[in-house]
C-alpha cells in the first residue's frame, strides 16, 4: 500500500537524519577523536587501520588479536577519504540505515509488512545503536552483517538458486571476520533446513530433502571458508600458529567466567571457573539477568553520558526495556510457524553468546535487531486481536511484557555510574590538551564547556576551562575559572600557580574586585591547610 511506503521512507529518512545529526554533534565532543581515546577500542581500531594502510598483510606482524574485518573496512574508508574519521562516521550511518531497511524486509518475511515497519521503527530510533553506529567502533558493521546474513539465508531458501546460497555463505564469512561468535549458529542452520516445510531448497531436481540439505550446506560452507581462509593463512604466515580468525576469545571468556567475574566488562584477577563448578552456573544466571535488565551496560561509550552532550541523541527515544520483553513474547508467538525456526534460533544464539561471555550494551546490539522484529510481531498480533474484538489475550500479553519490563528496570551501583563520569573527565582533559596543542581553541572550548556542564563540582573542569580561556586571550574569564577551581579545591597547586602568574602579569588590567576574591581564596586555603 502507498501509505506504508511513505511510512518506510519516513523511517529511513528520519533515521538517517538522527544518525547524521548525532555524528555532527559527537564530532565536537571528547567522545569522538580516537587519537585521544587511550585504552579505548576507538583508538585501537584507528591505529590498526593506519597500520593496514602501511602494511596491508603483516600489519603488526602477529596473529590478529581482535576480529579484523572492521579495521580493514575502516582502512578502506581512510584510503578513500584521506584518513577522515568524520567521513567514516557518515559511511557507517548509511550502513545502519541500510540495516533498518533489511530489518523491515526481514519483518515482512517473518510475518508481514506491518511487522517490518514496526521493527524498522524500533531499530531506527533505538538510542544505543544510533550512538554506536557513528562511532569508530565495529558494532554497527557487526550488527549490519548479522542482519544481512539471516536475511540472505531466508532469501536463499525462497529463491532456491546457487547464487543466493553462495552469497549467503560469503556474508556468513564476512560476519565471522567481524565477530566470530556468529559461527555458533551453524548447527542450528542445519537443523533449520530439516524443519523447513519445503523439501526442495536448491536447484537439484531430486525429491530427497537430505540431498538438498547436503548440497546447500556444502556450497555455503565453501563460500564461507573461501572468505575466511585468507585471514587464516595470513595469521599462520606471520605467527606460525593456526589461528582461524583471532585470538581474543579465551581472554573474553576469562573476563566473563572467572571466580571474581561480575558479569560485566571488568578484568578479573581470579582463576577461571570450570563448567562443572556450581559457581559457573550461578554466574551464568547472573549474566542472564543482567542481559535482560533495561540498563545499558557501558563499554567504550556510555549512552547516558553521551546524551547529555549530544542533543540529537535524545530524539532516538527507544530504549532496551521497550524492546526486550515485547520481543521475547513475540519470539514465542513466532514459534507457531515452522519457517520461523531459523530466525528464532538465530535470535536465541545472539542472546546466549553474550551471556556466555559478559554483558555490555554494544554486545547486545545484534540481539536487539532481532528482538525488534519480534516486538513488531507482538504488536502486529495485538492489533489483529483487537480488530477481531478480542480483548483479554492481547491485553494480557502487553501486561505481561510491561510487568517484566518493570521488574528488570534496574539502576546499577553508584560506582558504575561514577566510573563513566571519571572516564569522561579524563577524555575531556586529553582532548583539551590535544586541541590546544593543535591550535584549535574553539573545539577545546566546546569540550571544556561540556566537561563543566557534566561535572561542575570537579575543580579540574574549571581549571581546564581557565586554560582554554587564557589561550584565547580571555584573561578575566580565565581568572574567574581559576578562582572557582580554588573555591572547590583550595589545594589545587596548578590553579594557585596559574592564578598567581596571571595576577602578576595582568594585574594592571584586571578589575580591583578580583583582588578581594583572591584574598578570600587564600584565606580559605590557609584554613584548609590548618
Could you read off the pLDDT tens digit of each residue along the chain, which spans 530 residues? 688 999 999 999 999 999 999 999 999 999 999 999 999 999 999 999 999 999 988 887 899 999 999 999 999 999 999 999 999 999 999 999 999 999 999 999 999 999 999 999 999 999 999 999 999 999 999 999 999 999 999 999 999 999 999 999 999 999 999 999 999 999 999 999 999 999 999 999 998 999 999 999 999 999 999 999 999 999 999 999 999 999 999 999 999 999 999 999 988 889 999 999 999 999 999 999 999 999 999 999 999 999 999 999 999 999 999 999 999 999 999 999 999 999 999 999 999 999 999 999 999 999 999 999 999 999 999 999 999 888 998 899 999 999 999 999 887 767 678 899 999 999 999 999 999 999 999 999 999 999 999 999 999 999 999 999 999 989 999 999 999 999 999 999 999 999 998 888 876 554 444 444 444 333 333 343 33
109 and 43 in a single domain? The answer is yes
Comparing CA positions, the residue from 13, 21, 30 lying closest to residue 100 is 13
524 and 396 in a single domain? The answer is no
Burial of 271 from C-beta contacts in 10 A (0-12 / 13-18 / 19+)? exposed
- Residue 2: predicted pLDDT: 85
Q: Answer with the one of 344, 372, 407 that is the final residue of a domain.
A: 407
Task: State the angle between helix axes of 392-407 and 320-334 in degrees (0 to 180), rounded to the nearest 10.
Answer: 130
493 and 516 in a single domain? The answer is yes
34 and 147 in a single domain? The answer is yes
> 151: part of which helix (H) or strand (E)?
helix 139-159
Three-state DSSP string of 277-311: CHHHHHHHHHHHHHHHCCCCCCECECHHHHHHHCH
Q: Answer with the one of 357, 372, 407 that is the final residue of a domain.
A: 407
- Residue 417: predicted pLDDT: 82
- Residue 412: predicted pLDDT: 76
Task: State the angle between helix axes of 493-506 and 459-471 in degrees (0 to 180), rounded to the nearest 10.
Answer: 30
Domain extent for 284:
2-407
Comparing CA positions, the residue from 222, 287, 229, 232 lying closest to residue 255 is 287
Residues recorded for the chain: 530
179 and 51 in a single domain? The answer is yes
147 and 214 in a single domain? The answer is yes
430 and 402 in a single domain? The answer is no
203 and 154 in a single domain? The answer is yes
The answer to whether residues 310 and 22 touch, using CB atoms and an 8 Å cutoff, is yes
What CATH number does residue 488 fall under? 1.25.40.10
383 and 251 in a single domain? The answer is yes
Distance, in Å, from the CA atom of 112 to the CA atom of 116, rounded to the nearest integer, reads 7
219 and 137 in a single domain? The answer is yes
Burial of 317 from C-beta contacts in 10 A (0-12 / 13-18 / 19+)? exposed
The number of folded domains in the chain is 2
Radius of gyration of the chain (CA): 27
Specify the pTM: 0.92
- Residue 505: predicted pLDDT: 81
Task: State the angle between helix axes of 113-124 and 2-26 in degrees (0 to 180), rounded to the nearest 10.
Answer: 10
335 and 223 in a single domain? The answer is yes
Q: Answer with the one of 343, 376, 407 that is the final residue of a domain.
A: 407
- Residue 415: predicted pLDDT: 65
Distance, in Å, from the CA atom of 241 to the CA atom of 234, rounded to the nearest integer, reads 10
396 and 419 in a single domain? The answer is no
Amino acid at each position: 500500500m502507498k501509505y506504508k511506503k511513505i511510512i518506510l521512507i519516513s523511517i529511513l529518512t528520519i533515521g538517517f537524519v538522527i544518525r547524521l545529526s548525532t555524528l555532527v554533534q559527537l564530532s565536537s565532543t571528547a567522545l569522538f577523536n580516537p587519537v585521544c581515546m587511550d585504552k579505548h577500542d576507538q583508538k585501537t581500531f584507528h591505529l590498526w587501520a593506519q597500520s593496514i594502510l602501511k602494511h596491508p598483510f603483516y600489519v603488526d606482524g602477529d596473529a590478529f588479536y581482535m576480529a579484523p574485518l572492521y579495521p580493514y573496512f575502516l582502512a578502506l574508508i581512510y584510503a578513500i577519504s584521506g584518513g577522515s574519521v568524520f567521513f567514516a562516521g557518515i559511511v557507517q550511518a548509511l550502513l545502519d540505515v541500510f540495516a533498518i531497511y533489511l530489518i523491515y524486509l526481514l519483518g515482512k518475511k517473518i510475518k508481514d509488512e506491518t511487522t517490518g515497519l514496526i521493527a524498522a521503527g524500533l531499530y531506527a530510533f533505538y538510542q544505543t545503536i544510533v550512538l554506536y553506529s557513528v562511532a569508530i567502533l565495529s558494532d554497527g558493521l557487526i550488527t549490519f552483517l548479522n542482519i544481512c546474513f539471516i536475511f540472505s539465508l531466508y532469501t536463499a531458501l525462497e529463491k532456491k538458486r546457487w547464487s543466493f546460497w553462495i552469497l549467503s555463505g560469503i556474508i556468513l564469512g564476512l560476519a565471522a571476520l567481524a565477530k566470530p561468535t556468529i559461527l555458533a549458529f551453524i548447527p542450528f542452520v542445519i537443523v533449520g533446513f530439516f524443519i523447513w516445510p519445503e523439501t526442495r531448497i536448491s536447484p537439484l531436481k531430486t525429491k530427497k530433502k537430505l540431498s538438498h540439505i547436503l548440497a546447500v550446506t556444502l556450497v555455503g560452507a565453501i563460500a564461507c571458508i573461501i572468505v575466511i581462509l585468507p585471514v587464516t593463512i595470513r595469521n599462520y604466515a606471520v605467527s606460525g600458529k593456526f589461528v582461524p580468525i583471532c585470538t581474543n576469545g579465551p581472554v573474553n571468556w576469562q573476563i566473563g567466567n572467572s571466580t571474581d567475574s561480575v558479569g560485566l566488562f571488568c578484568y578479573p584477577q581470579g582463576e577461571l571457573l570450570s563448567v562443572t563448578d556450581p559457581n559457573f552456573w550461578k554466574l551464568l544466571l547472573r549474566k542472564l539477568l543482567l542481559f535482560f535488565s533495561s540498563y545499558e551496560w557501558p563499554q567504550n561509550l556510555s549512552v547516558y553520558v553521551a546524551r547529555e552532550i549530544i542533543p540529537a541523541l535524545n530524539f532516538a527515544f527507544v530504549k532496551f526495556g521497550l524492546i526486550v520483553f515485547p520481543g521475547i513474547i513475540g519470539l514465542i508467538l513466532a514459534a507457531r510457524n515452522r519457517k520461523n525456526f531459523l530466525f528464532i534460533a538465530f535470535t536465541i544464539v545472539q542472546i546466549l553468546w553474550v551471556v556466555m561471555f559478559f554483558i555490555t550494551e554494544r554486545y547486545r546490539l545484534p540481539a536487539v535487531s532481532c528482538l525488534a522484529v519480534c516486538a513488531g510481531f507482538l504488536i502486529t498480533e495485538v492489533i489483529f486481536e483487537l480488530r477481531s474484538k478480542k480483548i483479554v489475550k492481547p491485553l494480557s500479553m502487553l501486561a505481561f511484557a510491561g510487568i517484566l519490563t518493570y521488574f528488570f528496570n534496574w539502576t546499577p551501583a553508584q560506582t558504575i555510574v561514577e566510573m563513566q563520569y571519571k572516564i569522561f573527565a579524563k577524555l575531556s582533559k586529553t582532548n583539551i590538551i590535544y586541541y590546544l596543542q593543535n591550535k584549535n581553541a574553539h573545539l577545546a572550548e566546546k569540550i571544556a564547556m561540556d566537561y563543566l556542564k557534566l561535572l561542575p563540582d570537579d575543580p579540574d573542569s574549571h581549571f581546564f576551562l581557565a586554560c582554554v580561556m587564557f589561550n584565547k586571550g580571555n584573561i578575566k574569564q580565565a581568572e574567574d575559572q581559576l578562582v572557582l577551581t580554588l573555591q572547590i579545591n583550595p589545594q589545587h597547586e596548578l590553579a594557585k600557580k596559574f592564578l598567581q602568574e596571571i595576577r602578576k602579569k595582568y594585574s594592571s588590567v584586571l578589575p580591583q574586585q578580583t583582588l578581594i576574591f583572591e584574598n578570600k581564596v587564600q584565606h580559605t586555603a590557609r584554613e584548609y591547610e590548618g
